[in-house]
Amino acid sequence: MPSQDQTVYPVTETSKRSTRVNAERYSEMYRLSVEEPDAFWRQEAARLDWMTPFTQVEDTSWDKDDLHIRWFADGTLNASANCIDRHLPERANDTAIIWEGDDPAASSKITYGELHDHVCRLANGLKSLGVKKGDRVTIYMPMIPEAAYAMLACARIGAVHSVVFGGFSPEALAGRINDCASDIVITADEGMRGGRATPLKANVDRAMQHAPGVRQVIVVKRTGGKMKWDPARDVWYHDLIARQPATCPPEPMNAEDPLFILYTSGSTGQPKGVLHTTGGYLVWAAMTHEYVFDYKPGEIYWCTADVGWVTGHTYILYGPLANGATTLMFEGIPTWPGPDRFWQVVDKHQVNIFYTAPTAIRALMREGDGPVQGTSRASLRLLGSVGEPINPEAWTWYHRVVGDGRCPIVDTWWQTETGGVMISPLPGATDLKPGSATKPVFGIMPALVSNEGEPLPDTGAAEGNLIIQRSWPGQARTIYGDHQRFIDTYFATYPGAYFTGDGARRDEDGYWWITGRVDDVLNVSGHRLGTAEIESALVAHTDVAEAAVVGYPHDIKGQGIYCYVTLNAGIIPTEESAQMLRQWVRQEIGPIATPDLVQFAPGLPKTRSGKIMRRILRKIAENEFGNLGDTSTLADPSVVEDLIENRKNR
Ligand code: 6R9
């Protein structure tokens, strides 16, 4: 959690000179965006190529009995045409994607012209397999250009992509395939990260045992590693595209036609398929990418996320490509072959804008300044942070060491559901405070409410739950197949407002400081995980009677995963059984969900009505059991003593 830091880093002279949006312009544009949204969005939406121009800007209602969100609804466009075709007259020979392989000796450049051909061939290949507008296609890929081609090929023919992070298990993959009834999967034989191969195709094969609806699996040859092959179902990517023409007319899509589904964790139940549509999302992606990163033509831009997360969707792919940028796609990890890999890549490709996560910054900070200082980084102009609150120590190190004190940092707060950045500095406009996401982006009206639902004053210092008061084009439209869950999750807690699930503080200067999730969602190394998902994986084990999962502060990961487990009668808890359960969860969900600490407990603290009192479990996990608050409602107060006695985080 960011501690308070009073240092202010004023807008640099270089940024003032070079950016379009200075402090005055930000205020004017922000005012227009909230006072005359129709005029503002009409103009911003004109940054895209529309096949049929829209006449209507916004048609939204957050009333829970009639909840709908529609932007530019009578316009038509195609996302892939906006990311590729419209740049061709001027930029066919400019680099669209720089691919940097896991192996430092492997890299390549794909021009906009080449991107067009790759995407069209695959789009035609998908059509030849019978994929039609509206069909869902699951993409389970390593960070290779074919992942981008696959997403854009879907967009080109109007198929809805659902990218599943390559680190998820076969079980998690199957769940996501089934939830959206997707019958095509695009994958690779193996993925490479840090010199090690991940058996993606073998994972897909295992997922297939639980996903009988899949007709066809398209496989990219990445490593040539061994795998099983089902000739009736599996098809090589290179065979599929071999005979396909390199042109494919982009499908005209209604602005409100779905572009993609992306699964993300909530506070209850299984991950939900957040659905984004075409027009509003792309306007939001392109606009925020331009303003937040102050992107200028010709610059090299690098976002280190994986395309399996929303950050990869919006800020590796759609935002940069809609703006005709050169976007770098990195297959590897920050610490391989050495802890200077990021900075080596920055020098190698002369990166100007670098966007990463606090967890990576903290991990690299631990290696000391040496690996950074051995590189030049003179090309860097702007740094970005996303995924979790950045602690002022990590911010300051990033600024001082990585950016040589010269590069502004944009700390960008947003969510899968928001489509793109919501609260962030603009480099030419906003003085920076380490740990603060600073000010809202155009059109965004954040506010604070108390736990009881009372609105807090909208000026001056305050702290509470973060809500957004008005729709914006990039907002998710629904949860795939469960509109009621969408309404209940985001619009029922504080009627008339979008509830973010985050807590926040606004200081006396109107700066926003995100304090972290206020619900049962964990943020582990910037990855969102629901405690309910991990609990359900634990209780799926035959030895486990009951489990409760909470987060606790972790130096590198931000939050670690702390599991309280009650075993079935007769099963003796041992160090081995703890280790076995960690492996079990890893296998059930994926490596990112591996529990850090497992504590066996004869009983969990419950109210007399049987509700687990997570507040108490959180305190014990945080090693702050001195002040447990009111425990008088517990059915059996003695369980708490046992929990404290045997706590794992000391
Ligand atoms: C983009 C992304 C969303 C949650 C969000 C919040 C946390 C993201 C942050 C941040 C503080 C930032 N979060 N960016 N917290 N400062 N700059 O990460 O989407 O995976 O859906 O996670 O991440 O808690 O609610 P997603």
pLDDT at position 2 is: 44
φ, ψ at 545 (rounded to 5°): -90, -45
Closest Cα to atom 17 of ligand 1: 413
Confidence of residue 628 (pLDDT cuts 50, 70, 90): confident
Cα 385 to Cα 412: distance, rounded to the nearest angstrom? 6
For β-strands 216-220 and 184-188, DSSP reports them as parallel
Residue 108 has which token pair?
């390549």
Instruction: Single out the residue of 542, 617, 546 nearest to residue 584, CA to CA.
Output: 542
Sign of the dihedral defined by the CA atoms of residues 103, 109, 115, 117, in that order: negative
Identical fold at 13-506 and 525-646?
A: no
Handedness of CA 572, 578, 579, 581 (dihedral sign): positive
Of 1.10.600.10, 3.20.20.10, 3.30.300.30, 3.80.10.10, the CATH number of 525-646 is 3.30.300.30
Mean pLDDT of 3-12: 81
What is the position in ligand 1's atom list of the atom closest to the CA of 389?
11
534's tokens? 């991990």
Closest atom of ligand 1 relative to the 517 alpha carbon? 24
Q: Is 95 annotated as a binding residue?
A: no
Distance of CA 225 to the CA centre of its chain: 30
Q: 436: annotated binding-site residue?
A: no
Rounded mean pLDDT of 23-34? 98
The Cα-based distances of 3 to 159, 322, 434, 435 in angstroms read: 45, 37, 9, 8
Domain coordinates in residue numbering, the chain: 13-506, 525-646
Residue 1 in this model has a pLDDT that exceeds 50: no
Question: Of 156-170, 484-498, 610-624, which range is least confident?
Answer: 610-624
Which residue is associated with the tokens 């309910």?
A: 532
313 CB under 6 A from ligand 1?
A: no
CB distance 530 to ligand 1 below 6 Å: no
Residue tagged 């058996």 (tokens): 199
Residue 450, pLDDT above cutoff 50? yes
d(CA 650, CA 647): 7
Helix 200-208 × helix 170-179 angle, to 10°:
60
How far is residue 230 from each of residues 219, 235, 619, measured CA to CA in Å?
Answer: 11, 9, 51
Q: How far is the CA of 413 from the centre of ligand 1 (A)?
A: 6
Q: What is the pLDDT of residue 629?
A: 80
**Cα radius of gyration (the chain):** 24
* Cβ–ligand 1 contact at 437 (below 6 Å): yes
- Give the CATH superfamily of 13-506: ANL, N-terminal domain (3.40.50.12780)
Q: Is the minimum distance from the CB of 523 to ligand 1 under 6 angstroms?
A: yes
Angle between helices 575-588 and 531-539 (to 10 degrees): 120
pLDDT at position 5 is 58
Integer Cα distance of 155 and 576 in angstroms = 48
How many Å apart are CA 605 and CA 358, to the nearest integer? 34
Ligand 1 in contact with 81 (CB < 6 A)? no
Determine if ligand 1 sits within 6 Å of the CB of residue 175: no
The residue with tokens 């909470």 is: 550
Retrieve residue 255's tokens.
Answer: 């602005």
* Local confidence band at 347 (pLDDT 50, 70, 90 cut-offs): very high
Query: What mean pLDDT is reported for the chain?
Result: 96
Residue 456 has pLDDT above 90, yes or no: yes
Mean per-residue pLDDT for 370-394? 97
Which of 10-14, 45-49, 381-385 shows the lowest per-residue confidence on average (mean pLDDT)?
A: 10-14
Mutate to test the pocket of ligand 1, among 414, 417, 519 (most ligand atoms within 8 A of CB): 414
- Got the DSSP string for 336-393? SSSTTHHHHHHHHHT-SEEEE-HHHHHHHHTT-SHHHHTS--TT--EEEE-SSPPPHH
Please determine, for residue 496, whether its predicted confidence score (pLDDT) is greater than 90.
yes
Segment 543-598, tens digit of pLDDT: 999 999 999 999 999 999 999 999 999 999 999 999 999 999 999 999 999 999 99
Write the ipTM: 1.00
- Would the pLDDT of 187 be above 90? yes
Instruction: Read off the tokens for 458.
Output: 């909208």
pLDDT tens across 265-294, in order? 988 888 999 999 999 999 999 999 999 999
Beta bridge mates, 275: 261, 478
Distances (CA, A) of 318 to 59, 150, 262, 307: 24, 13, 14, 11
Residue 541 CA: distances (Å) to CA of 271, 478, 583: 20, 33, 11
Nearest 10 degrees: Cα torsion 432, 435, 440, 446: -150
Number of alpha carbons in the 13 Å side-chain half-sphere of residue 384: 31
Q: Measured between alpha carbons, how far is 581 from 648 in angstroms, rounded to an integer?
A: 15
360 lines ligand 1 (CB under 6 A): no
**pLDDT confidence bin for 420, thresholds 50/70/90:** very high
The answer to whether the CB of 25 falls within 8 A of the CB of 429 is yes
Ligand 1 center to residue 61 CA distance, Å?
25
pLDDT at 471: 98
Cβ of 528 closer than 6 Å to ligand 1, yes or no, is yes
Q: CB within 8 A of 609, min separation 6: which ones?
A: none
- State what percent of residues in the chain have pLDDT above 90: 93
Instruction: Verify whether ligand 1 is closer than 6 Å to residue 411 (CB atom).
Output: yes
pLDDT of residue 637: 86
Dihedral pair phi/psi, residue 260, rounded to 5°: -155, 160
Tell me which residue has its CA closest to atom 3 in ligand 1.
Answer: 415
**Direct distance between the N- and C-terminal alpha carbons of the chain, in angstroms, rounded to an integer:** 19
Pocket probe for ligand 1: among 386, 438, 592, the residue whose CB has the most ligand atoms within 8 Å is: 386
Is residue 333 scored above 70 in pLDDT?
A: yes
Q: Is 194 annotated as ligand-binding?
A: yes
Asked if 531 and 579 touch (Cβ cutoff 8 Å), the reply is no
Q: Which amino acid is at 205?
A: D
Residue 567's nearest CA partner among 558, 576, 559 is 576
- Tell me, using a 6 A CB cutoff, whether residue 499 lines ligand 1: no
β-pairing, 253-254 with 76-77? antiparallel
Judge whether 539 and 554 are in contact, CB under 8 Å: no
pLDDT for residue 81 is more than 80: yes
Q: Cα–Cα distance between 74 and 57 in angstroms, integer?
A: 9
Consecutive H or E run containing 111? strand 107-111
Q: What are the backbone dihedrals phi and psi of residue 192, each rounded to the nearest 5 degrees, phi first?
A: -115, 125
541: annotated binding-site residue?
A: yes
What is the C-alpha separation between 501 and 494, in angstroms, rounded? Answer: 11
How far is 290 from 319, CA to CA, in rounded Å?
A: 8
Is 19's pLDDT higher than 70? yes
Q: Are β-strands 191-193 and 196-198 bridged in parallel, bridged antiparallel, or unpaired? A: antiparallel
Cβ–ligand 1 contact at 44 (below 6 Å): no
Verify whether ligand 1 is closer than 6 Å to residue 490 (CB atom): no
In contact, 605 and 550? CB cutoff 8 Å:
no
Taking the centre of ligand 1 as the mean of its atom positions, its distance from the CA of residue 386, in whole angstroms, is 7
The confidence score (pLDDT) of residue 4 equals 55
Question: Is the CB of 355 inside a 6 Å radius of any atom of ligand 1?
Answer: no
Return the higher-pLDDT residue of 241 and 614. Answer: 241
Quote the CA–CA distance of 596 and 598 in Å, as a whole number. Answer: 7
Please say if the pLDDT value at position 197 is more than 50: yes
- Please give the helix or strand (H or E) that residue 44 lies within, else none: helix 37-45
Question: Nearest C-alpha to atom 8 of ligand 1 is from which residue?
Answer: 387
Nearest CA to ligand 1 atom 7: 388
Backbone region of residue 162 per phi and psi (left: phi > 0; alpha: psi in -120 to 50; beta: other values): beta
The predicted model gives 70-78 an average pLDDT of 98
Give me 170's structure tokens. 């076969």
Which segments within 7-100 are labelled E, that is strand? Answer: 58-61, 68-71, 76-77, 95-100
**Residue with CA at minimum distance from ligand 1 atom 6:** 388
